Structure 1
Amino acid sequence: MAYRILVLYGSYRADRMGIRLAQFVVDGLRGMGQEVELIDAKAVGLPMLDRMYKEYEKGEAPAVMEELAGKIRGADGFVFVTGEYNWGIQPGLKNLTDHFLEEWFWRPAAIVSYSAGRLSGARASTAWHGTLSEMGMVVISSTIGVGPIAQTLSAESEPIGEGGKALERSFPRFADDLLWWIEAAKAQRARKAPPY
Structure 2
Amino acid sequence: MSSNAQTARLNVLVIVASTRPGRLGPAIADWFVQATLPTAAAGGTTLDIADLADIGLPLLDEPEHPSSGIYVHEHTRAWSRRVAAADAFVVVTPEYNYGMPAVLKNALDFLYHEWAWKPVGFVSYGNTSAGTRSVQMTKQVVTTLKMMPIGATVALRIADSTQDGQVLRSAGLDDTARRMLLELTRVASAMRPLRTEPDSDVTSLPGPVEGLRLTIAQPDDLAELLVLQRCCWVQEALANDTLDLSPLRETLDELRESTSTWQLWCVRRHGRLVAAVRAQTRGRGWLIGRLMVAPDQAGNGIGSWLLSYAEQQAPEGTAHYELFTGHRSTRNIKMYERAGYALTYADVTPDGSVHLVKQRQPTA
Deviation readout 1:68-117 (Å, 9 max, x if unpaired)? 201211111111111000111111111112111111011111111111x1
The one of 92, 101, 105 aligned to 1:90: 101
Task: Map 1:146-161 to 2 at 5 A.
Answer: 146-148=156-158, 151-153=160-162, 157-160=166-169
Aligned pair in 2 of structure 1 residues 23, 72: CA closer, same or farther (>3 Å)?
Answer: same
Q: Match for 2:152 among 138, 142, 163?
A: 142
Residue 338 of structure 2: aligned partner: none
Question: Structure 1 residues 105 and 56 mapped into 2: Cα distance closer, same or farther (>3 Å)?
Answer: closer
Shift of 1:128: 1.0
Which one of the candidate residues 152, 167, 176 is aligned to 2:173? 167
Q: Shift of the alpha carbon at 1:118? A: 3.8
Q: TM-score, normalised by structure 2?
A: 0.47
Change (3 A) 1:5 1:157: farther
Q: Is the 8 A contact 2:93 2:101 kept in 1?
A: yes
Q: 1:61 to 1:141 in 2, by over 3 A?
A: same
Whose helix proportion is higher, 1 or 2? Answer: 1
| 1:15 alignment counterpart | 22
**In 1, distance between residues paired with 2:57 and 2:51?**
11
Within the candidate set 158, 176, 183, 1:177 is matched to: 183
Which of 125, 132, 135 is the matching residue for 1:122? 132
Give secondary structure in 1 for the equivalent of 2:108.
Answer: helix
Measured on the aligned residues, the alpha-carbon RMSD in Å equals 2.7
Question: Which residues of 2 match residues 61-76 of structure 1 at below 5 A?
Answer: 61-76=72-87
| In 1, Cα distance between equivalents of 2:79 and 2:67 | 15
The 1:159/1:190 distance shift into structure 2, 3 A limit, reads: same
> Percent same amino acid at aligned positions?
24
Structure 2 counterpart of 1:175, one-letter code:
L
> Which structure 2 segments of 5+ residues have no match?
1-6, 205-209, 212-364
- Name the count of aligned residue pairs: 190
- Taking a change above 3 Å as real, the CA distance of residues 156 and 121 of structure 1, as seen in their structure-2 partners, is closer
Higher relative contact order (CA 8 A, sep 6+): 1
Distance 1:145 1:14, change over 3 A: same
Whichever structure has more strand as a proportion of its residues is 2
- TM-score in terms of structure 1 length: 0.84
Query: Does residue 49 of structure 2 align to residue 35 of structure 1?
Result: no
Q: Which amino acid aligns with 1:94?
A: K
Task: Note closer, same or farther for the CA distance 1:168–1:70 as it changes in structure 2 (3 Å cut).
Answer: same
Q: Which residue of 1 aligns with 2:66?
A: 54
Unaligned stretches of 5+ in structure 1?
none
Write the letter of the residue equivalent to 1:124: S
Q: CA deviation at 1:28?
A: 3.3
For the structure 1 residues 55 and 61, does the alpha-carbon distance in structure 2 shift closer, same or farther, using more than 3 Å as the test?
A: farther
Cα distance between partner residues in 1 of 2:65 and 2:47: 23
Tell me the SS of whatever aligns to 1:43. helix
- CA separation in 1, counterparts of 2:136 and 2:29? 18
1:25 Cα offset (Å): 2.1
Secondary structure of residue in 2 paired with 1:85: coil
